[in-house]
């Protein structure tokens, strides 16, 4: 049986809730409805993922028939009349939400996704409260405690609504396959291979699963309590680093207009929390790049090539999770790795070398950069925009009203490299890093996402990569902050 391929150049005429609309062939009912300002509720749907049709909250009626169809997974057709709202549909959606909540922990006020939870928003929209339904199935299992996966992610599978978003991101988008599904019917669940901890599998801690989870089933490991403890310790200094580009992430997190949070306001807010000094993260980022460039020059001088010893190209990344990717999927390229030279790692280790009673906090743009492979430096923390936002709220700091302050002093030449006296490291009080990076020109290739990274890794194996440096970013799209 042949399947008709939609022609985007062909138009389809239909009616949605009495409103005529014309859309290209191949348009989903969900998308067509938005053209006439009709918003059909969804839970499993995600704009960057495939058609799902798992939750069935988006069901609609077509041509007056009794059969319901999922708006997220069905394309429009010529002349169809779609009904998205009537008492029958409202009752069905409300019942689905009640059934989900009946098997969901009733701890919205303490949940990390409170007020940012898609299930909570649906429940409010349909007037569904706590203890709204009765479970269809007996569940004698005790409530499972959240699983802390390194310092990066926390999984609370009692809150999972089985939408499958995290599975698709992990398997299809990032091609890591650290999360999958198991069992059928009411025993169907989101799991990991052999139910192992993420840290024991192929997970690279990119945070993609958390980014698409509609509830609080998988989320960032909040370390603000440890940072508050350090801030309240009079015997310690607490020093932070943050990139100016972090303001874009924080604006998104606080739902503020673009440009509301400036670098100066960000610095002031961090200091009001109790931090002693705030540095531009570009300093340690430059240091990391300079160290890697020096390593490349040394390998090139020693005669290493992509065909001799497989030491080139050097492979680095935005986070140390890149090392997990190489070691699990391309162990033959392990000698190429230099992923322990991240800005966060350098910042913490250099501060500790000066004074063991300093706590280093890096404010990072994504969960991926919270991950540290192996043993991290003592009193080294990475906080995301979400964690910073919660600290500001707890402290009663309204960041948009604050005056502006500068970063701690740095050399007059903003682009000065980390070499010799007067370097940015001297300003921090750490001492200088001396290294000769003069030599052959270095070609660098930047790769976004692990699916693309696999293509480059295969090219390296075949000797077809002409770059001396490959840098991998965890996200398939470019980040707000590149360090």
Instruction: For residue range 167-199, list pLDDT tens digits in order.
Output: 999 999 999 999 999 888 778 899 999 889 998
- Spatial separation of the C-alpha atoms in residues 379 and 108, rounded to whole Å: 31
**Bridge partners of residue 191, in order along the sequence:** 180
Contact 94, 159 (CB under 8 A): no
Pairing of strands 68-70, 237-242: unpaired
- Spatial separation of the C-alpha atoms in residues 216 and 114, rounded to whole Å: 8
**Bridge partners of residue 60, in order along the sequence:** 69
Instruction: For residue range 209-224, list pLDDT tens digits in order.
Output: 999 999 999 999 999 9
In the chain, domain spans: 11-85, 100-137+146-220, 233-284+342-428, 292-339+438-473
- First and final C-alpha spacing in the chain: 51
CATH of domain 233-284+342-428: 3.40.50.1780
What pLDDT is attached to residue 121?
94
Task: Name the CA dihedral angle for 382, 385, 390, 391, rounded to a multiple of 10 degrees.
Answer: 50
Pairing of strands 237-242, 277-280: parallel
Residues in the chain predicted with pLDDT less than 70, given as ranges, are 1-4, 130-143, 303-310, 410-439, 478-483
Q: What is the DSSP letter of 308?
A: B
- Spatial separation of the C-alpha atoms in residues 65 and 72, rounded to whole Å: 18
Measured on CA atoms in the order 278, 279, 285, 288, is the torsion positive or negative? negative
Residues contacting 229, CB < 8 A, separation 6+: none
- Altogether, the residues listed in the chain come to a count of 483
Contact 419, 290 (CB under 8 A): yes
* Whether the domain at 11-85 and the domain at 233-284+342-428 fall into the same CATH topology: no
- Spatial separation of the C-alpha atoms in residues 399 and 376, rounded to whole Å: 31
- Tokens representing 108? 């919205």
Question: Taking the CB of residue 4, how many other CB atoms lie within 10 A of it?
Answer: 8
Question: Taking the CB of residue 409, how many other CB atoms lie within 10 A of it?
Answer: 10
3-state DSSP assignment of residue 447: strand
Is the backbone peptide bond immediately before 34 cis, with ω within 30 degrees of 0?
A: no
Contact 149, 37 (CB under 8 A): no
3-state DSSP assignment of residue 227: helix
| Helices and strands per DSSP (H, E), number in the chain | 14, 17
What pLDDT is attached to residue 431?
36
Contact 190, 170 (CB under 8 A): no
- Spatial separation of the C-alpha atoms in residues 312 and 469, rounded to whole Å: 7
Pairing of strands 380-383, 358-363: parallel
- Tokens representing 437? 């990076």
What pLDDT is attached to residue 309?
38
**Bridge partners of residue 473, in order along the sequence:** 448
What pLDDT is attached to residue 410?
62
Instruction: For residue range 433-478, list pLDDT tens digits in order.
Output: 445 566 677 889 999 999 999 999 999 999 899 999 999 999 887 5
Please give the CATH topology (third level) of the domain spanning 100-137+146-220: Alpha-Beta Plaits (3.30.70)
What pLDDT is attached to residue 138?
45
Instruction: Give whole-number Cα distances, 265 to 156, 227, 244, 398, in Å.
Output: 35, 20, 11, 10
- Tokens representing 379? 């009193």
What pLDDT is attached to residue 433?
42
pTM of the model: 0.84
- Tokens representing 436? 């000769």
Which CATH number fits the domain 11-85, given the four candidates 3.50.50.60, 3.40.50.740, 3.40.50.300, 3.10.20.740? Answer: 3.10.20.740
- Spatial separation of the C-alpha atoms in residues 426 and 29, rounded to whole Å: 61
Name the residue with tokens 């398939």.
476
What pLDDT is attached to residue 130?
56
């Amino acid at each position: 049986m042949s399947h008709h391929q939609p022609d985007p150049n062909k138009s389809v005429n239909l009616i949605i809730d009495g409103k005529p609309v014309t859309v290209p062939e191949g348009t989903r009912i969900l998308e067509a409805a938005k053209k006439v300002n009709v918003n059909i509720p969804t839970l499993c749907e995600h704009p960057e993922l495939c058609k799902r049709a798992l939750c069935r909250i988006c069901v609609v009626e077509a041509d007056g028939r009794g059969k319901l169809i999922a708006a997220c997974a069905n394309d429009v057709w010529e002349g169809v009349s779609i009904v998205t709202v009537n008492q029958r549909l409202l009752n069905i959606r409300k019942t689905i939400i009640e059934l989900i909540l009946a098997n969901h922990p009733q701890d919205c006020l303490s949940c990390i996704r409170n007020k940012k939870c898609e299930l909570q928003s649906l429940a409010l929209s349909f007037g569904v409260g706590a203890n709204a339904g009765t479970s269809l199935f007996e569940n004698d299992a005790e409530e499972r405690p959240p699983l802390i996966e390194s310092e990066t992610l926390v999984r609370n599978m009692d809150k999972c609504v089985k939408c499958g978003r995290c599975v698709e991101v992990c398997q299809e988008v990032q091609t890591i396959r650290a999360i999958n599904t198991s069992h059928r019917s009411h025993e169907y669940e989101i799991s990991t291979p052999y139910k192992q901890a993420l840290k024991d599998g192929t997970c690279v801690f990119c945070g993609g699963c958390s980014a698409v989870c509609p509830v609080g089933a998988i989320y960032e490991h909040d370390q603000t309590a440890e940072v508050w403890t350090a801030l309240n310790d009079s015997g310690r200094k607490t020093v932070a680093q943050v990139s100016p580009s972090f303001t874009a992430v924080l604006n998104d997190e606080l739902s503020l207009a673009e440009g509301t949070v400036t670098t100066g306001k960000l610095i002031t807010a961090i200091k009001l929390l109790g931090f002693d000094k705030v540095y531009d993260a570009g300093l340690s980022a430059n240091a990391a790049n300079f160290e890697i460039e020096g390593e490349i020059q040394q390998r090139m001088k020693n005669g290493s090539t992509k065909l001799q010893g497989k030491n080139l190209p050097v492979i680095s990344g935005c986070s140390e999770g890149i090392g997990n990717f190489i070691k699990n999927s391309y162990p033959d390229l392990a000698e190429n790795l230099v992923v322990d030279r991240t800005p966060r790692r350098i910042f913490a280790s250099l501060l500790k070398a000066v004074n063991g009673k300093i706590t280093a906090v890096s404010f990072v743009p994504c969960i991926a950069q919270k991950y540290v492979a192996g043993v991290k430096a003592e009193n080294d923390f990475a906080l995301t925009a979400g964690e910073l936002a919660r600290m500001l709220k707890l402290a009663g700091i309204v960041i948009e009203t604050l005056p502006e302050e500068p970063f701690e002093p740095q050399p007059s030449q903003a682009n000065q490299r980390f070499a010799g006296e007067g370097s940015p490291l001297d300003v921090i009080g750490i001492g200088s890093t001396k290294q000769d990076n003069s030599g052959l020109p270095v070609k660098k290739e930047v790769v976004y996402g692990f699916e693309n990274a696999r293509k480059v890794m295969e090219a390296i194996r075949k000797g077809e990569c002409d770059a001396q440096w490959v840098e991998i970013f965890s996200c398939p799209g470019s980040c707000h902050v590149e360090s």
